Amino acid sequence: MSLDWQAAWQALVGHPLFGFALTLCAYQLSLALYEKTRWVVLQPVLLSIILVIASLWALGIGFDEYRASSELLTLLLGPTTVALAVPLYLNLRRIRQLFWPVLLTLVCGGVAATVFGVGLGWMLGAEEGVLRSMAAKSATTPIAMLVTEQIGGIAALAAVFVMVTGVLGGIFGPELLRLLGVTHPAAVGMALGINAHAVGTSRALGEGEECGAFSALAMSLTGACIALFLPLAAALIS
Amino acid sequence: MLLRGLTWLVVFQLLGTLLSVLLLPQLPGPILGMLLLLFFLMLRGRVGEPLAEASTNLLRYLPLMLVPPATAVMLHVDLIAREIWAIAGALVGSVLLSMALTGWLMQRLIERQARRRGEP
């Protein structure tokens, strides 16, 4: 009896859930590696992306095929972005006491991160598509991707910029802030949340509860502000 | 419970999409949905149990959902390779600069507020 390996392989790779399964496996593997090493660079999302890309290349599968068979996950991204309103609302209720410091820092920090990113990229000679994908990097990934698409950048590039920024900020942020004499937990938390999103917030939680709370607050507020103002600013400029 | 919360979220996303197409093409649908839900929560003054459950559960898997769309970077490998130094410089430089600025500013503002409250 001869088995039809060719047909079996085609049925596997061509299955409508193949991309879904591949993503889940890559994510589980990345999570396990991260849990084991606790190494900040091994962020599960970044590692999963690398694993998925490597698998697709090795198997000779194009991105369009993968996208079609992983659509189940992408469809949920919309409602999940809407769900960000819940932590945002809970965080907003918490800031009453430091309202003005938080608001001022948020606006300055959000503008600074965007202007420094785009400005440095421009000085170093990056082309326009890269610059447009750089602008939203202080927002959390789902927001940054939507905004970037809106302002004519490459959403996937923005996602990677956001993730790399988070890792860089999470690694160097706490030490940099200590060197500068920034010691108040709310200040450390704000700086980490505005600039390093989720990775920064998990570092901030390690520094203490107040620090973590302010980081989560800063992360969701920065995301909302960038979502609201960056497309409008871009529409005004161009 | 989970399904009820999910219903709210999907309805708000679709409302956001309607609003985006009809009135505010500058803002994407899910983002308008998020802002609409935020206003709704502010008016209501609390987060209901079903919504809290659905959002907590969905947000827990957010990183996983980001993998497929972010994998599209594989289509732009040439661009990244060509611009790698500009990208690296801009990312590293800007995160350090604005991290330093925001931390320093927030610390100053907190100290100022504390001083003001100290002297009536």
Q: What is the 3-state secondary structure (H, E, C) of A154-214?
A: CHHHHHHHHHHHHHHHHHHHHHHHHHCCCCCHHHHHHHHHHHHHHHHHHHHHHHCHHHHHH
- Cα separation, B109 vs B13, whole angstroms: 37
Which residues, at least 6 apart from A195, have a Cβ–Cβ distance to it below 8 Å? A109, A113, A138, A165, A169, A173, B95, B98, B99, B102
What distance in Å separates the CA atoms of residue A98 and residue A100, rounded to the nearest whole number?
Answer: 6
Provide the percentage of residues in chain A whose pLDDT is more than 70: 100
Contact B81/A at CB under 8 A = no
- Tell me the pLDDT band of A92, cut-offs 50, 70 and 90: confident
Most confident of A95-99, A115-119, B115-119: A115-119
Give A46-88 pLDDT, tens digit per residue: 999 999 999 999 999 999 999 999 998 889 989 999 998 998 8
* pLDDT value of residue B119: 62
Contact assignment for A190 to B102 by CB distance below 8 Å: yes
Instruction: State pLDDT tens for residues B32-86.
Output: 999 999 999 999 999 999 999 999 999 888 889 999 999 999 999 999 999 999 9
Instruction: Establish if B13 touches chain A: CB-CB under 8 angstroms.
Output: yes
Residue B24's pLDDT is what? 85
pLDDT band, very low/low/confident/very high, at A36 (cuts 50, 70, 90): very high
Is-contact A129 A154, C-beta < 8 A? yes
Question: Domain locations in chain B?
Answer: 1-60, 71-120
Instruction: Give the chain A residue whose CA is nearest to the CA of B55.
Output: A83
pLDDT value at A21 more than 60: yes
Contacts of B29 in chain A (CB under 8 A): 78
Residues 84-113 (B) with a CB less than 8 A from some CB of A: 85-87, 89-107, 109-111, 113
pLDDT confidence of A236, banded at 50, 70, 90? Answer: confident
Coil, helix or strand at residue A94:
coil
pLDDT class for A164, splitting at 50, 70, 90?
Answer: very high
Residue of A nearest to B52 (CA): A86
> What would the two tokens of residue A208 be?
């203490």
The reply to whether residue A191 touches residue B6, judged by beta carbons under 8 angstroms, is no
What is the residue extent of each domain of chain A? Answer: 5-75, 83-237
% of chain B exceeding 70 in pLDDT: 98
Contact B68 A184 (CB under 8 A): no
Are B41 and B33 contacting, i.e. CB atoms less than 8 angstroms apart? no
**Lookup: tokens for A6:** 């060719």
Binning pLDDT at 50, 70 and 90, where does residue A93 land? Answer: confident
Inform me whether the C-beta atom of residue B23 falls under 8 Å from chain A C-beta atoms.
Answer: no
pTM of the model: 0.89
- Is the minimum CB–CB distance between B7 and chain A shorter than 8 Å? no
- Alpha-carbon distance of A109 to A18, in angstroms, equals 42
Digit-coded pLDDT (tens) for A170-189: 999 999 999 999 999 999 99
Residue A130: pLDDT band with limits 50, 70, 90 = very high
Lowest-pLDDT range of A26-40, A81-95, A121-135, A155-169: A81-95
End-to-end CA distance of chain A: 67
Average pLDDT, chain A: 91
Q: Residue A81 is nearest to which of B30, B67, B73, comparing CB atoms? A: B30
CB contact under 8 A, A85 and B28: no
Q: Write the secondary structure of chain B as one string of H (helix), E (strand) and C (coil).
A: CHHHHHHHHHHHHHHHHHHHHHCCCCCCHHHHHHHHHHHHHHHHCCCCHHHHHHHHHHHHCHHHHHHHHHHHHHHHHHHHHHCHHHHHHHHHHHHHHHHHHHHHHHHHHHHHHHHHHHCC
The predicted complex's ipTM stands at: 0.89
- The pLDDT value given to residue A1: 65
Contact A155 B87 (CB under 8 A): no
pLDDT in tens, A101-129: 999 999 999 999 999 999 999 999 999 99
Q: Give the C-alpha separation, A150 to A83, whole Å.
A: 20
CB atoms within 10 A of CB B80: 14
Residue A161 has pLDDT above 80, yes or no: yes
Residue B120: per-residue pLDDT? 52
Please give the residue of chain A at the shortest CA–CA distance from B37: A85
